[in-house]
Structure 1
Amino acid sequence: MDRVNNKERLLKLMEILREKTDEDHELSFEELSTQFKLSYGTEMKLNKNSLKDDIEHLIQSGFDVTINQVKEGLPKYYSHQYRLFELYELRMLIDAVVSARFITKDETKNLIRKIKRLTSIHQAKLLQNEILIDSSVKSESPMVRLTIHELHQAIAEKKVITFQYGRYNVDKQFTLSRSGGRYRVKPLALTWTNDFYYLIAFFMEADEIRHYRIDRLRNVEVTKETFTFEPFDVSRYVQSTFHMFAGSEEWIKVRFKNELINVMLDKFGKDVDIQKIDEEHFILTTKARDSEGLASWILNWGSQAKVISPPSLAEKIKTEIEKMNEIYK
């Protein structure tokens, strides 16, 4: 090919600058010409004035082209440096994708490839992820990404959805709950917590808000039935739901050792009600869902935590301690 039409040449120039250059890698006119010839063949003719016009058009259209010339008479070097994402931001995105259990291993690799295309090929090499993809904790459901799309759409359009739900049994077989019966819910929000994606929804049959692991949903269907959306505080719901166990919400008071103050602030935020009671302890007061998840969370801290109220939660903790003591006798 001897010549390329103006529009194609302009687009190719943009592609070369985006993929081959960055703040540490520049290309001279001759090197740009070489890149064109690698794509279109060695017979391609590239006029220097045409290239200058193309670069000017890119700059005028808002596409960053940095021109570097050390001194008059020396060659000019061209590069695309200012991008939508900084390198550290792309690295955070990749780490998040790798860590997300609800994304399959194949989908993880595909997303990483796409993220790397948001920078130059040189910087993409620096994005070699240090977090290994652990197949043992990755979802096996290839439909998760489609389910997420359908759920977002249903939430935006305020449409009732139905689905089947299940879990793995001790034989590692996925079995549907309620004998395969369908759940009918009003989808309220999606949240990512404890390395999993959850659907928070109003379960119409039980007349209450519940949450469901998205990788455990099967055969999701968006109905034509719409509902009126009522304001819902997702952050408060997640904060009060320990390890995503359901339960009734009530006020709790727990005495902790002072060395756990940062753990509590990380979990509940700096606005949580904390009162210092002596030189070694403080009492945390908050609303939480009384559940097995809450009891397990408190037991994590052993003798560093003591439930003050409600009595039902304190009794649940004591019963579990007695069971553990019996096992280890």
Structure 2
Amino acid sequence: MTRLDNKDRLLQLRQILSEETDEEREKTLDDLILRFKQQYGPDVKLNKHSLKDDMEHLIQNGFDITVNQEKEGMPKYYSHQYRLFELYELRMLIDAVVSAKFISKKETRQLTGKIRRLTSVHQGKKLQNEIQIDSSIKSENPYIRLAIHKIHEAIEQRRVITFQYGRYDVDKKFQLSHEGRVYRVKPYALAWANDFYYLIAYYFEAGEIRHYRVDRLQNVMETDETFAYESFDVSSYTQSTFHMFAGDEEWIKIRCRNNLINVIIDKFGKDISTTRDGEDHFILTTKARISDGLVNWILGFGSKMMVLSPDTLQDTVKEEVENLHSLYDHDS
């Protein structure tokens, strides 16, 4: 007859309850004994009294076990129902992983599999129907997770980091910028915008704050050089950029059609300064980084947006409109 060590029995019981029971799946003592026999063989020595004692020990040590009994004299049903994450929370985590462009297809499969293991096997099957995206847009860089980890540690320890940066050329080949120059920066924060991770950092050579797509970084290295704490508002920085294009921050005024108010709130939040301008328009006043990203954002709304100030931004938009017109004016 197979004898089962008390510690092994306790651990196995916990695993069975964690993986095979939930709000919809419960087990009686007979069910539990059957699972042990399936695991350790039909001659394993086990009794209901031992299992009850084990469950009491688990409960006393903070492991949730729910006991249900419909009527006196009927069998008791046991299950582990309390989880750190609700099912809808796990679904949101999976959807975030699936939609994140910087996570490779292989890592997506690995991460979603791990997330499903945070609940029972039965509940985990309900998480199979994740959102569908074009898998061709997923990153092919398997080292992003290591770069993210190094950057997080450098931010926490306030250590200067170095890296190389690059982009794809028209032949879809990755090329390092500035002939492979090594960038030396003070990392302030990591931000997730437009489905990508961005490093926001102080670039020593230029003497200014810049941001970099993490999936375009190569050879990220921590140095022994540290820097003093500097207050930095990540939210304000990302809010003032458009499609994460860098530029100088200035006050802008834009006249918008009323039906764009939700677009403005989505971008800037409800506390943004807006004033009515007649029956059909309102004027947005905010600080923003003047960049190609801002110009493209404005042009994307066509005649529904009109730049009032500054003059330099208005002139840039006008010039781009004229360029578009000449591009499609086949009579000229």
Scaled to the shorter chain, the TM-score interval is: over 0.9
Classify the secondary structure of the residue corresponding to 1:26: coil
Residue 49 of structure 1 and its aligned partner are, at CA, apart by: 0.6
Tell me the equivalent position of 1:169: 169
Matches within 5 A, 1:318-329: 318-329=318-329
TM (norm. structure 1) is 0.98
Which runs of structure 2 are paired with 1:114-193 in the superposition (5 Å)?
114-193=114-193
Root-mean-square deviation (CA), in Å? 0.9
Partner Cα distance (2:264, 2:236) in 1: 15
Following the alignment from structure 1 to structure 2, what is the Cα–Cα distance between the partners of residues 312 and 123? 57
The answer to whether the 8 A contact 1:20-1:122 is kept is: yes
**Structure 1: unaligned runs, 5 residues or longer:** none
**Amino acid aligned to 1:288:** A
Query: What's the counterpart of residue 49 of structure 2?
Result: 49
Matches within 5 A, 1:81-96: 81-96=81-96
Superposed displacement of residue 37, structure 1: 1.8
CA contact (8 A) 1:3 1:44 kept: yes
Runs of 4+ displaced beyond 6 Å: none
Which runs of structure 2 are paired with 1:233-248 in the superposition (5 Å)? Answer: 233-248=233-248
For the pair 1:65 / 2:65, whether they are aligned, the reply is: yes
The secondary structure found in structure 2 opposite 1:223 is strand
Give 2:284's aligned amino acid.
Answer: L
Which amino acid in 1 is paired with 2:54?
A: D
Kindly indicate whether the alpha-carbon contact (under 8 Å) linking 1:257 and 1:305 is maintained by their aligned counterparts in 2: yes
Give secondary structure in 2 for the equivalent of 1:287: strand
- Do the aligned residues in 2 keep the contact of 1:245 with 1:293 (CA within 8 Å)? yes
SS in structure 2 opposite 1:231? coil
For residues 19 and 50 of structure 2, what CA distance do their matches in structure 1 show?
Answer: 21
Distance in structure 1 (CA, Å) of the matches to 2:168 and 2:51: 61
Residue by residue, what CA displacement relative to the aligned partner does 1:115-172 show, whole Å, maximum 9, x if unpaired? Answer: 0000001111110133225321111100011111000000000000000000000101
Q: How does 1:1-329 map to 2 (within 5 A)?
A: 2-329=2-329
In structure 2, C-alpha distance between the alignment counterparts of 1:40 and 1:119, rounded to whole Å = 24
Q: Distance in 2 between matches of 1:256 and 1:316?
A: 18
Structure 2: which amino acid aligns with 1:29?
L
CA distance in 1, matches of 2:130, 2:65: 32
Matches of 2:129 and 2:315, distance apart in 1: 46
The alpha carbon displacement at 1:300 in A equals 0.9
Displacement of 1:46 in angstroms is: 1.2
TM-score by length of 2: 0.98
Instruction: Report the AA paired with residue 291 of structure 1.
Output: S
State how far apart, in whole Å, the 2-side matches of 1:165 and 1:41 are.
58
| Residue-by-residue CA offset, 1:30-62 (whole Å, 9 max, x unaligned) | 111121122212221211110000011111111
1:164-208 CA distances to partner (integer Å, 9 max, x unpaired)?
A: 000000101000001001000000000101000000000000000
The percent identity for this pair of structures is 64
Deviations 1:100-128 (A, max 9, x none): 00100000000000000000011111101
Q: Does structure 2 conserve the Cα–Cα contact (< 8 Å) formed by 1:95 and 1:129?
A: no
Name the amino acid aligned to 2:214. I
- Taking the aligned partners of 2:172 and 2:288, their CA distance within structure 1 comes to 32
Letter paired with 1:98: V
